[in-house]
Structure 1
Amino acid sequence: MAFHFANRLFALFRHAPIIGFAEKKAPFGAVVQRPFTYAYEGDGFLWIGGELRREKTKFGRGDVVGCGVDLNGHEMIFTKNGRRLSSSALGIHFRYPASGVILFPCVSLFCAGDLVEANFGPNFKFDPSHLFC
C-alpha cells in the first residue's frame, strides 16, 4: 500500500516548515523528536525516526514539496517541485512499528501567517504512479 501527499508553500516567514509523516500521539510542537517521525525540514534537515540528518536541498516559499510512503516496501520519498529526491542518498528505510503505531501526514508551521495548501490527490506535480519503481 502506498500513499502520497503534496504541499504548496504560499507564505513563510522566519522558520522553515516541516513536512512528512508522524504518529498520531506526537505532542504538539515536538513532532520531529519522535521515534516514528519521518519528515523533511525546509532548511534542509531530515528527521528519520527521531534522528536528525542533513540533506542539501532546501525548500521555501513557492515550492511544492511532496512526501510518499510505501508501507509494504518500508520506503519513503520526498519530492520538490515534481522531482524526486534520491532515496538512496537520503537513506530512508523506515521501520513500520509492529506495536500498531499509525503514521499520519504532518505539516509543522512556526509563525502566525504561514500558509500552505495540502493536496491529497489526485493531481500532483510528481506522478505518484512511479512512486516506488
Structure 2
Amino acid sequence: MLGWDKGSWGYHGDSGELFTSKERTNYGQSYAKGDIVGCGVDFDKEVAFFTLNGKYLGEAFRGIKGKLYPPVCLDPASEGCRVLANFGQERFLFDTYALNAAAN
C-alpha cells in the first residue's frame, strides 16, 4: 500500500491516516466507495494536500520534489469501486483557484 515503502506516501481510506515510510499520522476522515478523493501538489511550496468530496483537508506532506508517479491502491475487498483520474482535462470538484486566492 502507498506509504509503506520508502519514497511513497498516501492517504488511506480505511483509517483516514497519512502514511510515509510506514509512519502514520492522523489526517482526515476515512473514505469508501462513492467518495471523491483528490490529491494536489503545489510545486512552488513543495507541499501535497488531499481533498475529500471537494473539501480541502490541509497540507499532508512537505518537501515534494522531482517527478511524481500517481498510483492508486485498492483493497481486494473494494469490489465495485472504480477509479477515474482527472489531470485537469475536466473541472475539479475542489476549487483550486479558491485555494490560491486564500494563500495570497
TM, length-normalised to structure 1:
0.61
Q: Rate the CA distance shift 1:107–1:93 in 2: closer, same or farther, 3 A.
A: same
Report the AA paired with residue 78 of structure 1.
F
Query: What do you get for the CA RMSD once the two structures are aligned?
Result: 2.3
User: 1:39, CA displacement in angstroms?
Assistant: 1.0
Q: Which runs of 5+ in 2 are unaligned?
A: none
Aligned residue in 2 for 1:60: 32
Q: Rate the CA distance shift 1:56–1:69 in 2: closer, same or farther, 3 A.
A: closer
In the alignment, which of 88, 94, 97 is matched to residue 126 of structure 1? 94
Structure richer in strand, relative to its length = 1
Tell me which of the two structures has the higher relative contact order, counting C-alpha pairs closer than 8 angstroms and 6 or more residues apart: 1
Aligned residue in 1 for 2:4: 33
Query: Distance between the aligned counterparts of 1:123 and 1:80, measured in 2?
Result: 15
Report the AA paired with residue 41 of structure 2.
V
For residues 84-132 of structure 1, what are the alpha-carbon distances to aligned partners after superposition, in whole Å with 9 as ceiling and x for unaligned? Answer: 0022xx5x22353xxxx52111110121734222222231110122345
- Report the identity percentage: 33
Aligned residue in 2 for 1:4: none
For residues 43-66 of structure 1, what are the alpha-carbon distances to aligned partners after superposition, in whole Å with 9 as ceiling and x for unaligned? Answer: 212113552212241111111100
Report the AA paired with residue 118 of structure 1.
A
Query: Distance between the aligned counterparts of 2:13 and 2:25, measured in 1?
Result: 13
Q: Is the 8 A contact 1:68 1:131 kept in 2?
A: no
Residues 111-122 of structure 1: pairs in structure 2 closer than 5 A: 111=76, 113=79, 114-121=81-88, 122=90
Query: Distance between the aligned counterparts of 1:50 and 1:124, measured in 2?
Result: 30
Aligned residue in 1 for 2:41: 69
Aligned residues: 97
